[in-house]
Amino acid sequence: MSNSFQDMLDEGVVIEGVEGITALIDGDILAHRAANATDGRFYTITGLPGESHKYKKDAVAAATKAGLTAKDVEIDFMPEPVSHAVNIVKTLMRTIQQALEARHGKVSYEVYLSVPSAEGFRVEVNPAYKANRVGGRKPKHLDKCKDYLRRNWRAVSKRQMEADDLLAIRTGELNKDGQPWVIVSIDKDLKQIAGDHFDFVNDEYVVVDETEAKYRLWHQVLIGDSTDNIFTPRLLGDKKAKAYLDENFDSSLTKEELLNMCTEVYSEYMEKHMKVKDTSDARCWVEQTYEQVYLKRFEDGKGITEVDS
C-alpha cells in the first residue's frame, strides 16, 4: 500500500503502541542528488560559440536548426560552490525528519554509505561489476556531501559493503530486537526487504510484504541490472520476466526451487536467442546473478557491528 504523508496526516493515521522508530537512511542517494544538482552541467555547440543550453535535447535542436548534428553538441560543467551542495543535503535531511516525525513522533536516525564499487564484495563474483562507470565523471562535491553526513549524522561505511547491504542487515538486527524501522531511499533494489519504506522524493510511504519482497528479488535475478553490468541471457527483459513469474512464482517456493526455475529460463533463452547448444553453465550464471543482486541479510551471519569497518 502507499500513501503520501500529507494524506496520512489528513486521515489522522497514527502508529499505536510504538515508542519511536529507527530511520535507516540511504546516504548515497542524498549525497548524489545534492552533488548532481550543483554540478553545473550544460551543453555547448561546436560552431555556435557563446551558445549554451541546460538540456541536451535543446542543444541538439539548436544544432540541427543551424545545419549541424548531435555530434557537434558537447557537455561541460561549471559547479556551484560546495556550500550549495551541502545545503541541499541539509534540506533533504530536514524534509525526511519532518515527514517521519509527523507520522511517528520519536525517530532515531542512522545513515549508511557505500564503499567504492571496486572495493565491494561483488567484484569478487563479477570483476566487471559497475566497471561501466569507471572513468565517468564523479560530481565535484560528492565527497564533501558524504563528509557532511559522516560529521553531522555519523554516517557509517563498512568494508566491502554497499549502503543497500548495510540497510538490509540492520533491518534484521532491529527485527530481532523487536524494534520498528523504516528504510528511507528511492532505490528499487531495497524493495526486496519486507517492511516500511519512505520515498522522500515523492513523499510516498510504502509497506512491502514478504511475498512482494521475494518476488522482486527473483525478478531481479531474471533480468539482472545493466546499469551495474549484471547481465542475463539476451532478450530476457522486464516484461517477459514478469509474465513468467506471474504464472510460476509462489512465495512458498524454496531458494533451491527458485534457482532451478530461473535456470530453466536462462537455458531456454540461451538456446533460443544466444544459439547456445550446451546450457550446462546456466545454473552457475543464475547463482552468480543471485549473489550480485541479493542484498546481504542479518541472517547470513553478521550484524552491522560484526562487519569489518
Task: Tell me the three-class secondary structure of 121-180, residue by residue.
Answer: CHHHHCCCCCHHHCCCCCCCCHHHHHHHHHHHHCCECCCCCCHHHHHHHHHHHHHHCCCC
Overall average pLDDT of the 64-76 stretch: 95
Mean pLDDT of the chain: 92
Average pLDDT over residues 58-70: 96
* pTM metric for this prediction: 0.89
Give the tens place of pLDDT for each residue, 27-52: 999 999 999 999 999 999 999 999 99
List of residues 6+ apart from 127 with CB closer than 8 A: none
Tell me what pLDDT residue 3 has.
44
Domains of the chain, residue spans: 2-36+81-208, 212-293
* In contact, 215 and 248? CB cutoff 8 Å: no
Spatial CB neighbours of 299, under 8 Å, sequence gap ≥ 6: 172
Tell me if residue 278 falls in helix, strand or coil: coil
Residue 303: per-residue pLDDT: 84
Q: What is the pLDDT of residue 19?
A: 60
- For 186-241, the pLDDT digits (tens) are 999 999 999 999 999 999 999 999 999 999 999 999 999 999 999 999 999 999 99
Output the pLDDT for position 75. Answer: 95
CATH of domain 2-36+81-208: 3.40.50.1010
Between 195 and 13, the higher pLDDT residue: 195
